[in-house]
Amino acid sequence: MFEAVEHYRPHVIAMLSDAGPTGFTVKELRARLNAGEEVIRRTLTLLLSTGAVRESYRHTPGARGAAPRVYTLARAGDSTLAATSATTPELVVTK
């Protein structure tokens, strides 16, 4: 699975850079890349943990049900911390 994630990582980044500020859902990325849901989700999880991608929700007024998650590339000046605590060395516990 690691090889598949590394294979799709540059493709997902390229797709998200084309998406602009609106981003793409997992379903839209799957359709554009012709890939399985599992590999797309794992690739997005990797990119989220490194801070390269941001996650938000796409709410459609009048629509019922859960709002789908939308993924966009993080901006260079984005001050939001990455999703993982490994980026802050003072929080890493060593034994």
Task: Specify whether the CB–CB gap between 85 and 91 falls below 8 A.
Answer: yes
Distances 67 to 46, 57, 70, 86 between C-alpha atoms, Å: 22, 6, 9, 29
In tens, the pLDDT along 29-86 reads: 999 999 999 999 999 999 999 999 999 988 878 878 788 899 999 987 665 544 443 3
Tell me which H or E stretch contains 47: helix 37-50
Predicted pLDDT at 80: 53
Domains and CATH numbers, the chain: 2-91 (1.10.10.10)
> CA-CA distance, 51 to 47, in Å (whole number)?
6
Pick from 93, 91, 4, 78: nearest CA to 48: 78
Distances 64 to 46, 70, 87 between C-alpha atoms, Å: 30, 17, 37
pTM comes to: 0.73
Judged against a pLDDT cut of 90, whether residue 94 lies above it is answered with no
